[in-house]
């Protein structure tokens, strides 16, 4: 997974006479039913080869070929957006399969082009999960629906509870104090690591899970800056795998996100009612997209959207016209109108927000948009 630290390092890279090829490609199978991105890339590569200075072309020819070969040979791993950054002169190659839509771009420059990646970092929240117990802790990052383990804190000096039994019981209070002392040290270790992690990665929110004791002890020790980011806690055991952790965390996150989504939907409906730079319903949203007005597209997760799309200019429609009202091209049936709309939104620099179903938005056609003007 893409980390803030990695992005910072890439941002610092400079050519020294070398060049970088940066490719952003919409590879969503829904909006590319005929593999249109392959054709787009072919044209973009040809344009680059024709327009680049001969000396520059010499330096990036390997990279252009590598990018083309990767797209041709790795389709099975593709999600919605593919990012490739390549500079053979710097022995540098990065590939990211993202679950968010991207606008097609091919850039050849003296430094890697990372603005779209920075935008993704800014717009999609990043959650940290701290999993804590009296002897160890694990930190996870959740971004764009993926969970990655960031690190582990192990403090092996914490004496085990089994030593409390038998004749050890004679000195019970002594041992309890001893354990408490070590647990305290361990938790301080954990918090130090957590603070360092928050500084390096731009984390928006934190979820804490673990045994009831450990969670409450940790919360008591947290500095206010970290405390303010807590959006919930949950109780569980230590050795669950990433999938199990994600399930428990999802519950906490979805409650938090539903509140935020509700605020967005309420504002959308309120503004649309007043005709204040917002619209509701598929047809109005399509018209706004056609006029390039979209700023934030908002729709329900399970929105079923059949419609029509011009095979020449890409115009969308909910009505069954035979010919495109804009260019006269042939209108094809499409089953995922909303994916095409999301792609248009991204191409206009608009944000895409998927929300859970709500009565208010359902009544308004399950889709709406905030507009630029
Ligand atoms: Zn058309």
Q: Which two tokens stand for residue 183?
A: 């647990």
Residues 24-83 have pLDDT tens digits of 999 998 889 888 999 999 999 999 999 999 999 999 999 999 999 999 999 888 999 999
DSSP 101: -
What b-and-e string marks burial along 106-133, b requiring 16 or more CB atoms within 10 Å of the CB?
bbbeebbbbebbeebbeeebbbbbbbbb
**CB count in 10 Å sphere of residue 345:** 24
CA 253 to ligand 1 center in whole angstroms: 41
How far apart (Å, rounded) are the C-alpha atoms in residues 315 and 15? 40
CA 314 to ligand 1 center in whole angstroms: 6
Low-confidence ranges of the chain (pLDDT < 50): 158, 161-171
Cβ–Cβ < 8 Å for 100, 80: yes
CA 309 to ligand 1 center in whole angstroms: 8
Domains in the chain: ranges and CATH:
4-121 (3.30.960.10), 126-239 (3.30.420.60), 258-371 (3.30.1330.30)
3-state secondary structure of 114: coil
Distance (Å) of CA 283 to CA 25, 323, 341: 28, 17, 11
Confidence at residue 170, expressed as pLDDT on a 0 to 100 scale? 44
Distance (Å) of CA 26 to CA 87, 89, 266: 21, 27, 31
Confidence at residue 1, expressed as pLDDT on a 0 to 100 scale? 66
How far apart (Å, rounded) are the C-alpha atoms in residues 185 and 310? 65
Strands 136-143 and 146-154: antiparallel
How far apart (Å, rounded) are the C-alpha atoms in residues 320 and 332? 9
CA 313 to ligand 1 center in whole angstroms: 4
Cβ–Cβ < 8 Å for 288, 272: no
Confidence at residue 332, expressed as pLDDT on a 0 to 100 scale? 93
Residues 71-96 have pLDDT tens digits of 999 988 899 999 999 999 999 999 99
CA 326 to ligand 1 center in whole angstroms: 5
CA 290 to ligand 1 center in whole angstroms: 11
At which residue do the structure tokens 């990018």 appear? 67
CA 291 to ligand 1 center in whole angstroms: 14
């Amino acid at each position: 997974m893409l980390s803030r630290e990695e992005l910072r390092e890439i941002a610092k890279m400079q050519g020294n006479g070398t060049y970088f090829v940066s490719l952003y490609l919409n590879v969503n199978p829904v909006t590319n039913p005929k593999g249109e991105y392959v054709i787009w890339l072919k044209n973009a590569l040809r344009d680059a080869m024709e327009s680049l200075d001969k000396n520059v072309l010499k330096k990036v020819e390997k990279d252009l070929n590598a990018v083309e070969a990767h797209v041709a040979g790795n389709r099975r791993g593709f999600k919605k957006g593919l990012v490739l950054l390549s500079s053979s002169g710097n022995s540098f190659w990065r590939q990211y399969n993202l679950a968010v839509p991207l606008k097609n771009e091919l850039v050849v420059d003296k430094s890697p082009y990372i603005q779209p990646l920075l935008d993704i970092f800014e717009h999609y929240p990043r959650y940290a999960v701290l999993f804590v117990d009296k002897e160890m802790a694990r930190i996870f990052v959740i971004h764009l629906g993926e969970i990655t383990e960031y690190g582990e804190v192990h403090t092996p000096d914490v004496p085990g509870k089994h030593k409390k039994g038998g004749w050890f019981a004679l000195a019970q209070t002594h041992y309890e104090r001893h354990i408490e002392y070590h647990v305290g040290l361990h938790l301080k270790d954990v918090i130090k690591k957590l603070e360092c992690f928050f500084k390096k990665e731009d984390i928006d929110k934190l979820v804490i899970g673990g045994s009831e004791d450990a969670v409450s002890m940790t919360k008591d020790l947290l500095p206010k800056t970290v405390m303010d980011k807590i959006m919930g806690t949950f109780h569980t055991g230590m050795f669950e795998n990433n999938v199990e952790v994600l399930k428990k965390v999802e519950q906490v996150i979805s409650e938090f996100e539903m509140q935020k989504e509700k605020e967005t939907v309420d504002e959308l409906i309120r503004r649309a009612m007043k005709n204040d730079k917002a619209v509701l319903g598929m047809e109005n949203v399509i018209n706004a997209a056609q006029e390039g007005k979209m700023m934030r597209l908002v729709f329900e997760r399970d929105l079923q959207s059949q419609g029509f799309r011009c095979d020449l200019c890409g115009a969308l429609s909910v009505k069954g016209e035979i010919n495109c009202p804009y260019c006269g091209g042939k209108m094809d049936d499409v089953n995922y109108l909303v994916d095409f709309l999301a792609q248009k939104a991204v191409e206009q620099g608009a944000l895409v927000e998927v929300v859970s179903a709500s009565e208010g938005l359902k009544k308004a056609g399950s889709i709406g948009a905030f507009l630029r003007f």
